[in-house]
Amino acid sequence: MCDHCGCRAFPPIAELTADHETILDLAWALAEAPRSEDRPDRDVRRDLLALLDRHVAKEETGLYPALVATGAVSAGEVRDLEADHRDLRRSLTDGGFDRRDFYALAAHIEDEEMELFPAAMLGFDDEEWGATSDAHRAVDAATAAAAVT
């Protein structure tokens, strides 16, 4: 991960970047986990799915719409990113996550960190940062409420 442009100074980007680091750690552990009847990867897979679901919700309800609104990315580019999210989730839930899936995930994250995050830093004003932060808070609140039930 990089920090050459300073986009991590913005809390929503810092949060997404921290998630990316944890996601990559968990994903590598899963890709390298031995496959057996005992399924020692079950806890890692569960933790990764929980983090990904929360993280993806933040990107798809906060960051991506704001980037489209500012013209930094097209709706088609967002559809491709969202398709990556669905493909990743599918590979995790069908039990077939492997090194190829890890490298596809790493490439997706690199695109976000090298292209989208700097675009947000340069293109967002207070309104977009506020909307992105609000989306993050809403996802966190929904996650917390779901954990209670």
Band (pLDDT 50/70/90 cuts) for residue 7 is low
DSSP-assigned letter for residue 34: P
**What is the predicted pLDDT for the residue at 59?**
97
Q: Per-residue pLDDT tens for 11-56?
A: 899 999 999 999 999 999 999 887 655 556 788 999 999 999 999 9
Band (pLDDT 50/70/90 cuts) for residue 1 is very low
2 falls within a domain: no
113 falls within a domain: yes
**What is the predicted pLDDT for the residue at 10?**
76
**What is the predicted pLDDT for the residue at 6?**
63
pTM: 0.89
75 falls within a domain: yes
DSSP-assigned letter for residue 1: -
**What is the predicted pLDDT for the residue at 48?**
95
What is the rounded distance in angstroms from the CA atom of residue 86 to the CA atom of residue 60? 12
Number of domains in the chain: 1
98 falls within a domain: yes
Q: What is the CATH number of the domain that holds 67?
A: 1.20.120.520
**What is the predicted pLDDT for the residue at 149?**
72
Residue 98 CB contacts under 8 Å (≥ 6 apart), including other chains: 31
67 falls within a domain: yes
**What is the predicted pLDDT for the residue at 109?**
96
27 falls within a domain: yes
6 falls within a domain: no
**What is the predicted pLDDT for the residue at 36?**
57
42 falls within a domain: yes
* Structural domain range at position 24: 14-140
Q: Per-residue pLDDT tens for 82-133?
A: 999 999 999 999 978 999 999 999 999 999 999 999 999 999 999 999 999 9
Q: How many CA atoms does the CB half-sphere of 139 hold within 13 Å?
A: 23
Q: Which residues of 23-33 are buried (b: 16+ CB within 10 A; e: fewer)?
A: beebbebbbeb
Residue type, 118: P
